[in-house]
Structure 1
Amino acid sequence: MVYLSNYLTPHTDTVGDIELLRSVFRACMGRRVQLLFVAGPAGAEDATDAAEQTGKGIIARAANDLCRYYAAREGVQTKILRVPFLYTASAALEDPFFAPLFDACLTGSVALQGAVDAAFPLLCAEELAVLVRRIFDSWDASFETLDVADTFHHTSGEVGEALKALFPGLAVTYGDSAGYALPASDVVRVRYGWFQRYDLLRDLSTIQARWDTGRAKKVNPLRAAIDRIQLRTLPIKCLETGVAWVLFEVLERLFSQSAQLNVLDYRLLYVVLIGTLYGLDFGLVAALLASVGLAVSYFTQYGYTFQGLFYEPSNWLPFIAYFVVGAVCGYVQLRNSEAIKVERNRNELVRNRNTFLTQLYHDAIEDKRTYKRQIVGRHDSFGKIFAVTQELDVLNPRDIYRKCCELMSEILENDSVAIYHVSGGAFARLVAASPAIAEDATRSFSLEQLAPLLGGGGRSNLWVNRELTPRLPMFGYTIERDGAPAVLISVRRAAQNQMTLYYQNLFRILCGLVESALGRAFDYEAVAQDKRCVDGTCVLKQAAFGQELAAEQALADSKMGSFLLLRVVPGMEPVGELVGAIGSAIRENDAAGLVDGDVLYLLMRQAKACDLPIIRERLSAKQIAVEPVDGEDIVALLQHISYTGDGEGGAA
């Protein structure tokens, strides 16, 4: 059972909501009933300040308390669903709020109760029907309050501006109400997979056009008059039947002595008229009244007695004729009314279907034009995908990481992209992150912590955090190399409207492009490893190290990462021995480079100045002393490497 509160539309002034709800609960007591109470935003529990409380809010919260009482004391399975104000975009229904609002707009001025910046949450009733069905499909007996968040966050001022666009010259005045702000909750999204898709400001023009079309419909005046007569209430019909009987009896008496007008049976005409207008029941009543009038005329005008009238069968014929004619006319009227009603319903259905198909046709034409305009310019179009492919056409993985963060932040409209590189088969270390989260992003995960993400993507390698597991991102994509995880691309947080299949597919496509680019870059590094590194070591030559340092500097300049550049202080050991031993002293994702043949540098990725003591302690255990290189010296070193090069093994 679904109970819709009276406060589901703005500016509601109806009364008796709590009394009716109580009677419904009393009828449900002792029965296996699942009751969903759909309340409006006026009953928000967090509006407890005196300035935020209104009479409607107090009544709405009292209805919530009534639901809790009967759920706890009487065992009625109840849930409260608190939703924004409802409107309908259906052509077959009249919106209880916008139809009167549009009528008021025709006068040239309209008043909204909310202030200009007051929240005006609105939800399409057709979307609510989908959510209600899903709630009942997975119903449980526990009492709870479910909140539907206001996705679009419209205000009274925005609605007023939309009305001005539909009604040129309209004057809109605003009140001082602060509106109703619904609490932000994602329970409905997570549990039922439901999202609000329809935006009022986009639907408003369609609703207004349908209202205008319905208002302009013309009705046949004669048909309208007959419909009004047939739709009158029972007392009015009875009164009209009695008045008509008196009128026709008077006509019968007046014209009974006329040779020309006496040939017409006015009582029979009365029976035909009433039976034709009001149906079988009133046709028989009219026949009875006509029979009474005929019997009285026999007694008064012709001197008949009851015995003479009753025992002469030929006198029965007029009475029988009245009842037969009344029954036949009433039956014909009843059958015709039912046939007309059926045909009207069919015509209305065909008309609605035609209107719907026409609207679909116009929408399809408009969508075609819109898509044609957006096919190249839109941020997630095929033209943009081609641009992404060109952007990622580089051979340095660090440049790919930086471009990946930039492009995904732009296309996905999300500022929480992070990329991790799996090193040593045990840890995933941060290599790049969006500027908004670069400072507080987790710099290292163990593969055990990422087990749900690495093993839950299936064949597509895409994983979605539908269980909202803490410390794990909302989206994750694993790039494998040689059958093992190599790179992890993640989106740490996602808005409610981004938890959609479209968003997942877009994320998968972009990650697939990045995977292809990284595959080429990793293959190139593997092939050029001997040319890039000093023979027999993992220490990069001067040109290759310069490219790695430039890529890290670009990440730092974009606020997507950090690094420390350390210069190895010459000691007792020759540089050649340090070059051979440095590989075991640094992490797999760090880099070492030899500049000018005798100066050894260490590039500590995703490290900060606060990490320097720990790094020095670790290197001291290997008998390696280092000193940091500051920003100006880094720029000078890059310029020096760019100017001199090493003449061999430079990365393309």
Structure 2
Amino acid sequence: MEVLLVGNTDFITKQWIQHAFPQDHVVIAEREGTVDGNDRLRIVNMSDASTLAETLTTYEFDRIVFFSEDLTPRSDRDGDLGTLRRLLHAIRNGQTQMLMVSGPEVEFTYPENADVRDTSKSLMSRALEELCLYYARTYQIEVKIIRSPYLYAPDRNGVTAYFNTLFEQAESGALSFHERKSQKTCFLCADDLAELIYRIFDDWTADSEIFRIPNVSNFTYGDLAEVIGKAFPGMSVTYGNDRPQRYPDDDHALRLRYGWSPRYSLKQDLPPVLQRWKEARVQEQSEKHPIWDFLRNHSKPWIAIEIFITFILEELLRTAVQGNSQLGTVDLRLFFVVIVGTMYGLNAGVFAAALACAGMALSYASKGASFAPLFYDTSNWLAFVVYFVAGAVCGYVQLRNRENLRFMRDENSLLRERLAFLRDLYHDVLDDRRMLRGQIIGRRDSFGKMYAMTRELDEVQPQKLYHTTIRIMQDTLGGDSFGIYRIDNGGRFARLMAASPQTESLFSKSALLENYANIVMALDHGGLWVNRNLEQNLPMYAAGVHADGKLAVVIVLAKAQPDQMNLYFQNLFTIMCGLVESAMVRAFDYEDVARQSMLVPGTEFLNAQAFLPKVLAANELKHDHMGDHLLLRVEDAWQDDGSRLRGAIRQTDETGVLQDGNVYVLMNQASEHELPIINRRLTQAGLHVTRVCDQEEDTLLAEASAQVAVETRADETPRNNAAPNDSASHEGGAA
């Protein structure tokens, strides 16, 4: 998974990443002091909103952890609220798990000042939490909040600016606290937080929750000063008069939920932290050289000094070779200007030319020449002009070469960064490819899930298919308001066969198709109807199952979420309905072919072997709250071989005979309050019926199931024993 760490990430190290996210790819928002990246750890700059949005779009993070500035005591950094809002706004339409770790400010109480409930920092912390919860409610973002004590990281010498300031004060000999001596400290080791974050993501739920990490250390600021004082003998300590703060006691929620409790304490970790800090300080001091630091930080004065020294050496050399006939012809001042301009650039070249001109003027003066002819005679200006032109040209050439070199270096740096980005992107693509391949082959997703659904739909009894279809669609598509209607042979009515649990009010048990002509027309032509106009009292989606060229079954989704009104969901709904259509058409064809073999000879009643599974399937629908039914016993149904009974019931109802010899009617999607209407209709047909209560129905079905099982085994036994009997008779005949 891709993980983004944002906010106060100063304490994060590679070891911390290995502990909290051992199998994930981690990206850290760039911040001062952030550790370097490796193959699974990347540092990105997300300082502005555009870069943040681009990064979130590029990586598509599965998990985001936001660390508040309040995790560092007395932090002077601001900007948490704006950064968090931009972050939440950027992920509001994604499937991202968001975890925010805030400081202890919200939990602090002040026993000596009961009227004080909030401070500026507690208000800011509460605003951060409210912002997270608002986005969780509004955009269904999965958010969890951890209220943690202040953090320290032993591997990074305490790492926070707070501890660095304390150690520097102690080194100078005077340690100062704002808190009172008896005030209890409130710190948590970053390694403990890593373990908790790992366990929370490992057992993640979609509910928004707030957890509080307990402060189990009984360690006061006086004890803290005592431990620091042992590392810095002779240190003086002063305490402040801040209001005493109290952190709530452990509520054991994290221990009961995740089996987690803090293992480390500041009292034990502080001595080795101090020792490592002192060793690093000594090494840092030993690496400092005042002279080289001065020269490194003051390069321009050093260049000026070099030019002055070179100018003096040039003048001494010129004086020494003045009588030499060969060397006297060489203009050493011009040579000096060319060298300086070539080495140090335009400004240094012009400065060297000015020194050369000053040297020439002084040489004229040393010979007793007057300055008036020097200025009024333009022919004497030529040497000065040559010096300045030579210094400027050489300096310009050197400056241009330096700019070209810098440009090439920057371009190479950009190419390296682009190459590194493309390499990381290539590795990400390979990782995603491996992950997706594993999902396709090894998990119950994609082809694996399609295969499992096809196996579940391999059923020849329509009543069982209705139950399986509702359950599969709820699991796959995520809706909870599916319904299945069966169309009668005349094509006038649609009868409800099954529906999602607890959605009876959304579906009418019988619908006149002429009232839904637009839906029927869309199903006959395109196979799918979508309620794009959001018309009231109409389902959001409807798909048809056609058998023998006619509409036989309609599958509807009564309500849909806003994120389900898109082309992706439409295609997925169509695919699912296509799988169901193939299974239902196969079941209808089988039932039509095998219908005569299922009837009691000479009647229209199903025999016990065919009628019993239909009643059991109706019971299963009722048990899962997907449907309802009535089982009625008909007293005088044998008078006309059942033709009168078949004319008085619906097409979706079934008639059959059980082992007691009585005729029963299975009224699908009929409830007890509809029984008077059913009795009136059957009485008009000259039939007398009695409702079978639930207990009697269970007993009757159990006896019938046992009897059918015995008869089935009895039918199979002669076939299994046919070969031995035949061979015995042959042996007897032979004897």
Q: State the TM-score, normalizing by the size of structure 1.
A: 0.58
Greater displacement, 577-586 / 605-614: 577-586
Query: Larger radius of gyration, structure 1 or 2?
Result: 2
Cα drift, residue 266 of structure 1: 5.0
Deviations 1:466-508 (A, max 9, x none): 5555444454432211222222233444556666666555544
Structure 1 residue 637 corresponds to structure 2 residue 700: yes
Once residues 452 and 391 of structure 1 are traced to their aligned partners in structure 2, the CA distance between those partners, rounded to angstroms, is 32
Whether 1:552 aligns to 2:611 is no
3-state SS of the aligned residue for 1:588?
coil
**Per-residue CA shift, 1:585-623, capped at 9, x if unaligned?**
222222233446974322221122222233334444444
The 1:515–1:458 alpha-carbon spacing in structure 2 relative to 1, beyond 3 Å, is same
Q: Cα offset for 1:552?
A: 0.5
2:606 aligns to what SS in structure 1?
coil
Q: Does 1:385 align with 2:450?
A: yes
Residue 567 (structure 1) aligned to one of 633, 637, 649? 633
1:154 aligned onto 2:94: no
Query: Which residue number in structure 2 is paired with residue 179 of structure 1?
Result: 130
Evaluate the alpha carbon distance shift between residue 512 and residue 341 of structure 1 in structure 2; reply closer, same or farther with a 3 A threshold. same
Matched, 1:89 2:155: no
- Give 3-state SS (helix, strand or coil) of 2:455's partner: helix
Structure 2 counterpart of 1:616, from 671, 675, 679: 679
For structure 2, the residue ranges without an aligned partner over 5 or more in a row are 1-5, 9-48, 105-121, 141-196, 202-294, 323-331, 713-735
SS state at 1:361 partner: helix
Distance 1:419 1:320 in 2: 100
8 Å Cα contact 2:68/2:101 also seen in 1? no
CA distance in 2, matches of 1:306, 1:488: 113
Q: Are 1:256 and 2:315 counterparts?
A: yes
Residue 524 in 1 paired to residue 590 in 2?
yes
Kept after mapping to 2: 8 A contact 1:379/1:411? no
Q: Do 1:462 and 1:476's aligned partners in 2 also have CA atoms closer than 8 Å?
A: yes
In the alignment, is the contact (CA less than 8 A) between 1:291 and 1:319 conserved in 2? no
Query: Which has the higher mean CA deviation after the structures are superposed, 560-569 or 311-320?
Result: 311-320
Q: 2:345 matched to which residue of 1?
A: 275
Say which of 583, 589, 592 aligns to 2:652: 589
CA contact (8 A) 1:419 1:487 kept: yes
The one-character-per-residue Cα deviations of 1:422-455 (angstroms, maximum 9, x if unpaired) are: 2342333321223353575443444456555555
Which AA in structure 1 matches 2:460?
Answer: L
SS in 2 for 1:488: strand
Tell me the distance in 2 between the aligned counterparts of 1:84 and 1:269: 49
Cα deviation, residue 388, structure 1: 2.5
Mapping of residues 123-134 of structure 1, within 5 Å: 123=87
TM-superposed CA distance for 1:584, in Å, is 3.2
Please list the CA deviations of residues 40-94 of structure 1 after superposition, one character each: whole Å capped at 9, or x if unmatched.
Answer: xxxxxxxxxxxxxxxxxxxxxxxxxxxxxxxxxxxxxxxxxxx99956638999x
Q: Tell me if structure 2 keeps the 8 A contact 1:283–1:330.
A: no
2:286 matched to which residue of 1?
none
Letter in 2 for 1:182: Y
What CA distance in whole angstroms lies between the structure 2 residues aligned with 1:246 and 1:554?
A: 99
Report the alpha carbon displacement of residue 628 of structure 1 after superposing the two structures with TM.
2.0
* Residue 316 in structure 1 maps to residue 382 in structure 2: yes
Instruction: Look up the SS of the partner of 1:182 in the other structure.
Output: helix
Shift of 1:545: 2.2
Structure 1 letter corresponding to 2:55: A
* Cα distance change, pair 294–490 in 1 and its aligned pair in 2 (3 A): farther
3-state SS of paired residue (1:487): strand
- In 2, distance between residues paired with 1:356 and 1:271? 42
**Does the Cα contact within 8 Å between 2:603 and 2:641 map onto a contact in 1?**
no
The residue identity in structure 2 corresponding to 1:154 is M
- Structure 1 residues 359 and 151: alpha-carbon distance in aligned structure 2, compared to 1, 3 A threshold: closer
Aligned to 2:720: none
Matched, 1:481 2:577: no
Match of 1:580 in 2: 643
On the 8 A contact 1:464/1:476 being kept in 2, the answer is yes
Counterparts of 1:533 and 1:84 in 2: how far apart (Å)?
73
Q: 1:435 and 2:498 equivalent? A: no
User: How high is the TM-score relative to the length of structure 2?
Assistant: 0.52
Q: What is the Cα-based RMSD across aligned positions, in Å? A: 5.4
Alignment of 1:15-34 (within 5 A): none
CA distance in 2, matches of 1:297, 1:91: 70
SS at match of 2:345: helix
Following the alignment from structure 2 to structure 1, what is the Cα–Cα distance between the partners of residues 689 and 385? 125
User: In structure 2, the residue corresponding to 1:489 is in which secondary structure?
Assistant: strand
The DSSP-based 3-state class of the residue aligned with 1:89 is helix
Partner of 2:459, secondary structure, is coil
Cα distance, 1:398 vs structure 2 = 0.7
* 8 Å contact from structure 1 (residues 249, 293) kept in 2: no
- Within 5 Å, give how 1:33-112 maps onto structure 2: 86=52, 89=55
Q: CA deviation at 1:524?
A: 1.0
Q: Which residue identity does 2:135 align to in structure 1?
A: L
Q: Which amino acid aligns with 1:589?
A: T
Query: Which fold has the larger relative contact order, with Cα–Cα distance below 8 Å and residues 6 or more apart in sequence?
Result: 1
State the match for 1:409 in structure 2. 474
CA distance in 1, matches of 2:550, 2:357: 102
Going from structure 1 to structure 2, the CA distance change for 1:186 and 1:361 (only over 3 Å counts) comes to closer
Q: Give 1:636 shift.
A: 2.6
Residue matched to 2:185: none
2:356/2:387 contact within 8 Å kept: no
Contact 1:84 1:182 in 2 (8 A): no
How do 1:241-390 residues align onto structure 2 when only pairs under 5 Å count?
248=307, 252=311, 256-257=315-316, 259=319, 263=332, 266=336, 268-272=338-342, 275=345, 286=351, 293=358, 297=362, 303-305=369-371, 307-309=373-375, 311-313=377-379, 315-334=381-400, 336-338=402-404, 340-341=406-407, 344-345=410-411, 347-365=413-431, 367-368=433-434, 370-371=435-436, 373-375=438-440, 377-390=442-455
Amino acid across the alignment from 2:345: G
**Alpha-carbon distance in structure 1 between the residues aligned to 2:336 and 2:65:** 48
Distance 1:275 1:549, change over 3 A: same
Q: Measured at CA, do residues 92 and 476 of structure 1 come closer, stay the same or move farther in structure 2, by a change above 3 Å?
A: closer
Between Structure 1 and Structure 2, how many residues are aligned? 476
Match of 1:20 in 2: none
Structure 1 counterpart SS, 2:705: helix
Contact 1:114 1:156 in 2 (8 A): no
Task: Give the letter for the 1:612 counterpart.
Answer: L
Counterpart of 2:667? 604
**For 2:58 and 2:693, how far apart are their aligned partners in 1?**
72
Shift in Å at residue 394 of structure 1?
1.9
Measure, in 2, the Cα distance between the counterparts of 1:463 and 1:159. Answer: 52
SS at match of 2:503: coil
Deviation at 1:183, TM superposition (A): 7.7
Aligned CA distance change for structure 1 residues 292 and 605 (closer, same or farther; 3 Å)? farther
- Cα distance in 2 for residues equivalent to 1:403 and 1:99: 40
Residues in 2 aligned to 1:386 and 1:585: alpha-carbon distance in whole angstroms:
42
**Of 369, 376, 398, which residue of structure 1 is paired with 2:463?**
398
Distance 1:472 1:290, change over 3 A: farther
User: 1:417-456 counterparts in 2 under 5 A?
Assistant: 417-423=482-488, 424-437=490-503, 440-447=506-513, 454-456=520-522
Equivalent position of 2:731 in the other structure? none
Inter-CA distance 286–538: structure 2 relative to 1 (3 Å threshold): farther
Q: Distance in 1 between matches of 2:399 and 2:672?
A: 95
- Give the match's secondary structure for 1:256: helix
**What's the secondary structure of 2:551's corresponding residue?**
strand
Q: 1:488 to 1:271 in 2, by over 3 A?
A: same
